Structure 1
Amino acid sequence: MASLLGNGWYGYSSGSEGEDEDEGTEGYRKGGYYAARPGDRFAGGRYVAQRKLGWGNFSIVWLAYDTLQSRFVALKIQKSARDYAHAALHEIKLLSAVAKGDPMNSKCVVKLLDQFKHAGPNGQHVCLVTEFLGDSLLRLIRELGIIHTDLKPENVLLVSTINPAKDPVRSGFTPILDLSVGNQYGRTVISFSEKMLRMRARRAVAKISQRRVSLGGVLAEVEKERSLDGISLKCKIVDFGSACWADQQLSGEIQTRQYRAPEVIIGSGYSYSADLWSFACMAFELATGDLLFAPKNCQRCSEDEIASSGTHSKDYFDRYGDLKRIKRLKFWPLDRVLVERYNFTEPDAQGFADFLRPILDFTPENRPSAAQCLKHPWFN
């Protein structure tokens, strides 16, 4: 996984996308995480840690209370090693540019509120303070000549939480201001709460699995109908740790594999349209519940076997432009996939497929811009 696991989280989606349930203890050493506790104060006492929101390979994010502005914020505490500090400073530059270009905070990008350094037993940590956001979902707006390079559902958060009890304002949560109160509970309570939430999630998954029944040889899944009433669907893009300026692109591979554009895979250069490719993958995932591309290994091919041209093309294609190791591809039109596998109606499938196909064009220059996407009839 790319940027998100390399950086941090701003909302309630905690943990990594892999099987690890928490950050473990290995990262708490010289050059690593800062071992924050409820009640810990930062920036001369202005920000008071409340509870951990999530973690990534680069940082830990805490819910904090801003005593100066009397509001809850997200506090991202970067690991202290030099490379991690440089990554945080890079993200600060990009988010500062976004904030400068959006003084009214009207765009769908997380707002940087403050930044500072905090010294601890494991070194000096760069800290970012952003607005507090909710659960991850999807909405895309690109601005200011920045290429995000790691768009995926986990990096797009709802402005508010789905569960009101998880929102410190709506739930009437009383902020911890006394360090002794925070230490009274400490990590034991936090760890216990997280484990309880995970246990509930496992039970929920188990219940859904038990509801699967066989009807005439066809597996049907009976799920409880969910309502979005009262839930704001306004979203913001977060985690600009691996983002770059369009004219100052970073070296190395970008994007999480499942959302990685063809031009990135073969090394032929990328631009804004790489973010749009990721957006299309997310849109399909939200509509169906499945990944559009779920790479799998085979005996004679890699997960990155795909068509186009670039510095790595010879690894995948022969001199005629044919795939070297994949000889027989089974094509299934997108609209037919939506109808036959996901039970879309014909009109819905056709409209959605018409919207996605241009964005998934193998030629980056042929893809529509974000502004053009918004004008597509499917949005109406």
Structure 2
Amino acid sequence: MGNLPDDNSVQLESPCLGDNPVNADDDAVQKSHNGKRCGDEEDGHLVYHVGLVLKERYEAVSTLGAGAFGKVLKCIDRDTNEHVAVKILKNTECFGEVAMSEITVLEEINSLDDDNRFACVRMLDWFEHKGHICIVLELLGPSTYEFLRQNKFLPFSVEQIRHMAFQIFRAVCFLHRNKLTHTDLKPENILFVCSDYDLEYNNETGCEVRKLRSLDVKVVDFGTAIFDHEHHESLVSTRHYRAPEVILDLGWNQSCDVWSLGCILMEFYLGHTLFPTHDSQEHLAMMEKFLGPIPSHLLKETRKQCFAHGEPLSCNEQSYSDGYIEKHCKPLKQYMRCGTEEEVQLFDLLTWMLQYDVTRRITMDEALWHPFFNPLRTQKHRCSTDTHVVLG
């Protein structure tokens, strides 16, 4: 396997640049790479005003987003007169370490993808301001989640999903080839390059909906990205996109990104989260409703004793009701709307991405050559192995 097909991209506006991998209402405590607990006190944020100039260069215009990590500001780069996004981390030891880890990853990505062929956000600069690490990034458009929300959660079409997925898969394949796992793929961390849209009347909703002029996307937020040789924390990913091997504490590798992407594609197709839960056992039970029983050998191997004897998982009524699962989850194939050839291909791809056993789960390399993507490939994209670059 060699070159991946090329994408074109431009730089426009971004409302947010990702957040922490573990939600506030999840069942875990976010940790830094050395295992220290991360503080989330409000006084760790930088206090700023419009017009503040950072590094005698970046003039604050507005707030694009905020979260447990810090803030993202829209700024004018006085040297180029262009808008940029400046991600300002809280001034705590934990977030400083996370920021420096993200900077290391982004520097390597910039170095190895210097012609910007893969859909990963570009870092333009970084510096320190009053104890806060600041990362200057290209300005992008809304996240795919934010666009769904603004568009009344109207699902994307299969053709739209194909276009976006091909770019995302190429980006993640690029990371995986270079011994890096993103670990926090979710719709909030996939941003449209351009925010421009047109309004069109939709017969299904009976009202006007937004249609983006460009479906080009980029992957953002590498704060929890991990190289293969680095220590792997046992808990990664945001709840709804967390792979079963992570929940069962079986250890994880790059294939956890593949599972997350499978959940994301289903969310694009449905318009809503595939597994709407914040409870691990309920999460696994929803997976069983969607995909069938979890293989017994995985339940026997788990280090989580609460799951070791949980067959069938859906029998525990103390933490949730079967009625909730019945209402919110059904077998994969029952979600199919039309049964067209392209839809059948999409669901076949999803079947391979959402395999419980990581040894059976499709890789990103393999996924890019799935028939679902045939319309996007041309002879010029077929390749040699001369661009198989390796991160440091």
Alignment TM-score, normalising by the size of structure 2: 0.68
Structure 2 residue identity aligned to 1:372: E
Counterpart of 2:367 in structure 1 is: 373
1:40 alignment counterpart:
52
Correspondent of 1:162 among 177, 188, 196 = 196
Instruction: Mark the CA change 1:361 to 1:126 in structure 2 (over 3 Å): closer, same or farther.
Output: same
Determine if the alignment matches structure 1 residue 84 to structure 2 residue 84. Answer: no
SS at 2:84 equivalent: strand
Q: CA deviation at 1:312?
A: 2.9
Distance 1:324-1:246 versus aligned 2 partners, 3 A rule: same
Q: Matches of 2:279 and 2:253 in 1, distance apart?
A: 28
SS at match of 1:287: helix
The answer to whether the Cα contact below 8 Å between 1:335 and 1:349 also exists between their aligned partners in 2 is no
The one-letter code sitting in structure 2 at the alignment partner of 1:286 is: F
Instruction: Tell me the secondary structure at the aligned position of residue 366 of structure 1.
Output: coil
The residue type equivalent to 1:375 in the other structure is W
Whole-angstrom CA distance in 1 between matches of 2:182 and 2:64 = 22
Report the alpha carbon displacement of residue 135 of structure 1 after superposing the two structures with TM. 0.9
The counterpart of 1:250, out of the listed 232, 254, 270, is 232
Aligned pairs (5 A) from 1:18-33 = 27-29=41-43, 32-33=44-45
Q: Is the 8 A contact 2:18 2:220 kept in 1?
A: no
Assess if the C-alpha contact under 8 Å between 1:135 and 1:162 holds in 2.
no
Deviations 1:258-300 (A, max 9, x none): 11001111111111111011101110111111222222659xx
Checking the alignment, whether the CA contact within 8 Å between 1:316 and 1:323 is kept in structure 2 is: no
Asked whether 1:224 is paired with 2:216, we answer no
Shift in CA distance, 223/92, structure 1 to aligned 2, threshold 3 Å: farther
Provide the alpha-carbon RMSD of the alignment.
3.1
Give the AA of the match of 2:46: Y
* Equivalent pair of 2:17/2:189 in contact (CA under 8 Å): no
The question of whether the paired residues in 1 share the 8 Å contact of 2:64 and 2:73 is answered with: yes
Please state if 1:294 is matched with 2:276: yes
Residue 100 to residue 242, structure 1, CA distance change in 2 (3 Å): same
Q: Distance in 1 between matches of 2:206 and 2:249?
A: 42
Task: Say whether the 8 Å CA contact 1:13–1:53 is kept in structure 2.
Answer: yes
Structure 1 match to 2:319: none
Structure 1 residues 347, 118: closer, same or farther in 2, change over 3 A? Answer: same
| Alpha-carbon distance, 1:243 to partner | 1.1
How has the CA–CA distance of structure 1 residues 82 and 223 changed in structure 2, closer, same or farther, with 3 Å as cutoff? Answer: farther
Which protein is bigger by CA-based radius of gyration? Answer: 1
Give the match's secondary structure for 1:89: helix
1:75 is aligned with what amino acid? V
Task: Check if 1:97 corresponds to 2:105.
Answer: no
CA change 1:87–1:28 in 2 (3 A) is same
Aligned twin of 1:317: 308
Higher relative contact order (CA 8 A, sep 6+): 2
Residue identity opposite 2:99 in structure 1: A
- Find the counterpart in structure 1 of residue 332 from structure 2: 334
Tell me the equivalent position of 2:182: 148
The corresponding residue for 1:240 is 222
The aligned runs of 1:103-114 (5 Å cut-off) are: 103-114=114-125
Match status 1:134 vs 2:141: yes
Shift of 1:221: 6.4
Aligned length: 296
Residue identity matched to 2:134: C
Offset, 1:348: 4.7
- Aligned residue in 2 for 1:11: 14
1:188 maps to what in 2? none
Aligned residues of 2:46 and 2:90 also touching (Cα < 8 A): yes
Q: Provide the rounded CA distance (Å) in 2 between the counterparts of 1:13 and 1:129.
A: 13
